[in-house]
A and B are shown apart, each in its own frame.
Chain A
């Protein structure tokens, strides 16, 4: 029998950080009785410890709720989304699994920058969006003004916008009512061949890799032989179910449903976000919008304690099980020893991975400066992809270097457009277009080198626009550029872990910055240590760490050798954390403070 989809609503929540997305989600679950208030742990959907701490959502956790309106029971599927540009593609796939989105706006803060990128993403996916004004009970709330802002800046009808306080639970039912009344029911045919959109995956220690899906057409149940259309791999379904928010087994998932498929899949690498699942022998068509996720940022990860290499290797293998966008391969550095070259979706992703490695696996790590992948054309005709500065061939062998480019769209209120254009020019950007989307909204388009965006672009953009500008980008091929390798020499020896590929116009500034910082952090030794920043043989910046000239000359009191011994033991312990580079000893902390982007 064809399933009636009238009682299903699939939606996501879009909000600026701090505007109360997770709190609202918690309240919706309480009001619908999905979880009782007593069991509620703050921010239920942010399942990782890291997410709760940072207050950001990295990993999406969907939830299915039941809600009765006018005597009719509705199934509401909430698909949460991460709010960071590193994960734009994942957000777009989650939105593609919905028919509508709730836009949460803080009634005192008003519309903020970060919100907009996701709103545009939702509009691109033809979602129905309606605003909710949150924190209405704060004395500083100014709902009428904020409504006008929403109408002018985003162009949404605010006449039926619920006015809520997620924190106190005020008017939460209004939100549910609007979801039911305004968001369209999904379309789809439960008797057609299976067509399911993968919008996420996760790794379960017992069941293996799990697909999170929205069934577009057809149905799936235990025993169905499924096929991933991008990879062509086939699996036998072991179990299907929904999130309440814990996994709850069901007999079948049908068109319109949101849930999970468990099929003894060994690693999440076999599950590609955006891929279409169909049934073997009864195949449907591929859903649009699939992109293969490629790392854009690379860096070396090394254990501070060289003995922990194998632990790091195991840890990366385990993380890879649950994060298919992470790639890595072994790397050796003269300064840092054995480690791994890793590829990430962006800087936040890089941060998350290194923090998870440290936290979940108890590792102390040194992470080298992030780099993008360059195309290096050699004079002998070879073309290399180089993401590790140490692997760059000699200048004489290089015909040209191409760097990855982005087409960047910056959305901003008009008053910041001047500052943003200055920033882009400073970041070697090439202006393409400026257009007014609305009276208060400008879209500026630049071609920007990825390397510049990776370095410190977001922080600068936020600061010049007071947080109002948002960035969306797509990759835009490669372009020839005057890149040079900047080496740092300590006492005449190149420290490979500190080498960088930079544009020649930026080399001087970066070189001087690193040399100055090194001077602060390199401990004085028994000899003078020259620090030099060089391009090839040319020294562009120089600092000197003067030789250590005195320790404390202390008495050896009353035969108490133990004081001396304690001092020696303490110093020996410190020395263990030192990296030896030629004759220079460097504490790991020194590396970290240099490699940290500021």
Chain B
């Protein structure tokens, strides 16, 4: 039987760039976009020759950038190429990210006809001033309209992304945002905190003192509000930054956290197959060169993980989930008793109310623990 494989498609284009974004994406014209899609199709075909024998596709995730900034027909083209050269399961989860500023009924229709069955929409915040500060070019009304368009086509599996801790964002703005999402009965929410990344306009503004980051206690309150409201409304926190109503967990994300195999297509896309992590070149011209002239995968960095690194990733990724780190699996994979090796630190974390151990040997974060997960991971890995 073929093993499960996930596919990530990276679309590095946006209609405009947000102030906080450090991902590989830029504003581009239509010929550049179409060339990119042609190149990506070549990459898909190359990879299919390599992997299709052993793998069947379980999830596809089209992210960016802004996939909805592509011209009509491009997404369909990509997905159909995948269907032709890979075995895609009937039950596959196929997600696309949308920016409410670039949605038309034709695009929604195209996506659904091409097999997309899950939508992820970047809302970030319901407050129009905050949206403007972030450099986003959509309104709350655009978001609402996008949701209703998707629903008119019979799709209910929808995610909303929200960001906490942006300069000028108030606790009330966060409350309003989360209440709005709950009232729309959107079944999945990704909630994460702003991190000021190097080289972004936001970093410049913060460094120059033009923008002030909210206090830690304030951001903590924001997160608590989101957490409390969502839990009360019937969502469960199945991963540190993800909340879902029953039946709406994102299968694609679970693959990352359970260290499943996935292939990334497009510039700067990351892959993890058979214990090897690799990532593609970041530049579209270089990407084109590789595929057109060299006819080989545009890989920039490939690294087979060492046992130590595999252990670290096991800890780092599994602790993000609600089910936690399964110490039996850990022992099976590494031949080492996780609980014994880290007994002293685990005891300390349990005493501080950051972790719990259950009868099945799972190590799980409490909600207090999720808040300081980076530090917990650091202590367990060093």
Contacts and interface: CB of A to CB of B under 8 A. Distances in A.
Nearest to B313: A561
Given A526-B349, A526-B354, A552 B195 contact: yes
Contact of A553 (B216, B223, B264, B368): B223
Interface residues of B, number: 52
A527 B352 CA distance: 7
Contact of A562 (B8, B194, B279, B381): B279
Contacts of A561: 256, 270, 272, 277, 313, 316-317
A559 B372 contact: no
Most central of A551, A572, A583 by chain B CB within 10 Å: A551
B272 A559 contact: yes
A548 B272 CA distance: 33
B190 interface: yes
Interface string B356-382: 000000000000101111111110011
A70 interface: no
Interface string A552-587: 111111111110110110011001000000010000
Contacts of B216: 549-550
A554 B320 CA distance: 11
Contacts of B382: 571-572, 575
Contacts of A557: 23, 63
Given A558-B270, A560-B270, A551 B372 contact: yes
A571 to B, nearest CB: 5
B324 to A, nearest CB: 16
B241 interface: yes
B378 A568 contact: yes
Nearest to B272: A559
Contacts of A568: 312, 316, 377-378, 381
Contacts of A562: 270, 277, 279
A526 B375 contact: yes
Given A559-B264, A575-B378, A554 B372 contact: no
B151 to A, nearest CB: 25
A95 B192 CA distance: 72
A25 B328 CA distance: 78
Interface string B242-266: 0000000000010111000010100
B125 interface: no
A558 B374 contact: no
A555 B241 contact: yes
Given A555-B190, A568-B377, A549 B371 contact: yes
B167 to A, nearest CB: 15
Nearest to B255: A559
A457 to B, nearest CB: 39
B141 interface: no
Contact of A572 (B253, B313, B378): B378
Nearest to B260: A559
A554 B10 contact: no
Contact of B374 (A551, A555, A583): A551
Interface in B19-37: 23
Nearest to A555: B192
Interface string B224-241: 000000000000000011
Contacts of A552: 193-195, 374
Most central of B220, B271, B374, B376 by chain A CB within 10 Å: B374
A568 B374 CA distance: 8
A575 B264 CA distance: 33
Interface in A245-282: none
Contacts of A565: 309, 312-313, 316
B123 interface: no
Contacts of B240: 553
Contacts of B220: 549-550
Nearest to A551: B374
Contacts of B371: 549-551, 553
Contacts of B61: 558
Interface string B1-28: 0000000101000000000000100000
B372 A558 contact: no
A557 B269 CA distance: 10
B219 interface: yes
B270 A550 contact: no
A554 B241 contact: yes
Nearest to B252: A559
Interface string A149-189: 00000000000000000000000000000000000000000
B262 A554 contact: no
Nearest to A575: B382
Contact of A549 (B23, B253, B272, B372): B372
B8 A558 contact: yes
A238 B316 CA distance: 69
Given A558-B10, A558-B270, A561-B256, A553 B193 contact: yes
A558 B271 CA distance: 9
Contacts of B381: 568, 572
A526 B372 contact: yes
Interface string A35-69: 00000000000000000000000000000000000
A548 B377 contact: no
Given A559-B264, A559-B272, A561-B277, A550 B312 contact: no
A554 B190 CA distance: 10
Interface string B312-338: 110011001000000000000000000
Nearest to B301: A562
A559 B378 contact: no
Interface in B184-199: 190-195
A573 to B, nearest CB: 10
Contact of A554 (B192, B223, B317): B192
A575 B375 CA distance: 11
Most central of A551, A558, A564, A568 by chain B CB within 10 Å: A558
Nearest to A578: B382
Contacts of A572: 378, 381-382
B198 to A, nearest CB: 11
A131 B10 CA distance: 79
A526 B377 CA distance: 12
A230 B262 CA distance: 81
Interface in A319-338: none
A559 B262 contact: yes
Interface of A: 525-527, 548-562, 564-565, 567-568, 571-572, 575, 583
26 contacts: A527-B352, A548-B372, A549-B216, A549-B220, A549-B372, A550-B372, A551-B372, A551-B373, A551-B374, A551-B375, A552-B194, A552-B374, A553-B241, A554-B192, A555-B241, A557-B63, A558-B8, A558-B61, A559-B255, A559-B270, A561-B256, A561-B272, A567-B374, A568-B381, A571-B374, A575-B382
- Sort A-B residue pairs by CB-CB distance and give the 5 closest, nearest first: A551-B374, A550-B371, A552-B195, A571-B378, A555-B192
Given A556-B320, A559-B264, 13 more contacts: A526-B349, A549-B372, A550-B223, A551-B374, A552-B193, A552-B194, A552-B374, A553-B370, A556-B241, A556-B317, A561-B256, A575-B378, A583-B348
